[in-house]
Structure formats: structure tokens, C-alpha cells
Amino acid sequence: MAGLPNATSLPPKPPMGDMDERKIRRLDLNRKAAQRSRLKKHEHVLHLENKVKELKEHKKLLSAQVDRFNFKLMMLKIEVNSARERLAILTRASVLRDGKHYANLCQDLEFKGRDCPTDATHHLLATAEP
């Protein structure tokens, strides 16, 4: 068993000067890499903070725009309701006017003693008034 290496023997150590130099170089490279990583992380955080500020400002603008649109919508709804009321009034007035005109026409055509076909007119007059 003379040819087998002893299990308790360690590999030969490089000279002390080389080991210290490599270790120092590795520590220095590791330190620089960690510094670059921290700088990159810091830049990323700054970028995200700026993005948050931009988005908050954009949200303010959009909220103001939504408020303006809601106000405009409310005004348009009021206008539509007002127009509907005017239309209903004008429709009732038109029905009344047409009914009176029809009744006058019946009288002019001398339906006095007979049934004047005014049933539709009376129905229109009855349904037109609130």
C-alpha cells in the first residue's frame, strides 16, 4: 500500500504569498460586485419611485377629468329631462289643438244633430291631460 496516498494527507498548499494575493483579489472583486449590485438596486428603486410619482400625477389628472365628465353628464341628463318635459307639453298642446280643430271641423260640416266622429278626439284629449 505504499503507492496509495494517505487519506489523512492534505493537498500541498500553495506558497503563502500567492494565496493571500488571490484571496485579496477575490475579496476585492466580490466587494466591487456587491457595490455594483447595491448601486443597480438603488437606481431601480429610484426609477420605481419616479414612476410612482408620475402615476400619482396622472391619476390626479384623470380624476379631475372624470369629475368634469360626471358634471357634464349630469347637466346633459338635466337637459334631456327638460327636453322630454317640453316635448310632453308640446305634444299635449298639439293634441288639444288638433282635437279642437277637428271638433270645429265637425261643427262646420254640420254634424250637429248626428254623431260626429270625435270619439278619437275625445280619447286623445282625455289621455293628453295629466
pLDDT tens column, 53-64:
999 999 999 999
Q: Is the pLDDT of residue 4 over 60?
A: no
- How many Å apart are CA 48 and CA 59, to the nearest integer? 16
Q: For residue range 76-119, what is the model confidence (pLDDT) as tens digits? A: 999 999 999 989 888 887 776 766 666 665 665 555 555 555 55
pLDDT exceeds cutoff 70 at 50: yes
Q: Could you give phi then psi for residue 4, rounded to 5 degrees?
A: -85, 140
Looking at residue 91, its pLDDT comes to 83
- The residue ranges of DSSP E strands in the chain, in sequence order, are none
The overall average pLDDT reported for the chain is: 79
Q: By C-alpha distance, which of 130, 39, 36, 25 is closest to 88?
A: 130
Q: What SS3 class is residue 96?
A: helix
* pLDDT number for residue 106: 61
Per-residue model confidence (pLDDT) at position 15: 60
pLDDT > 90 fraction of the chain, expressed in percent and rounded: 48
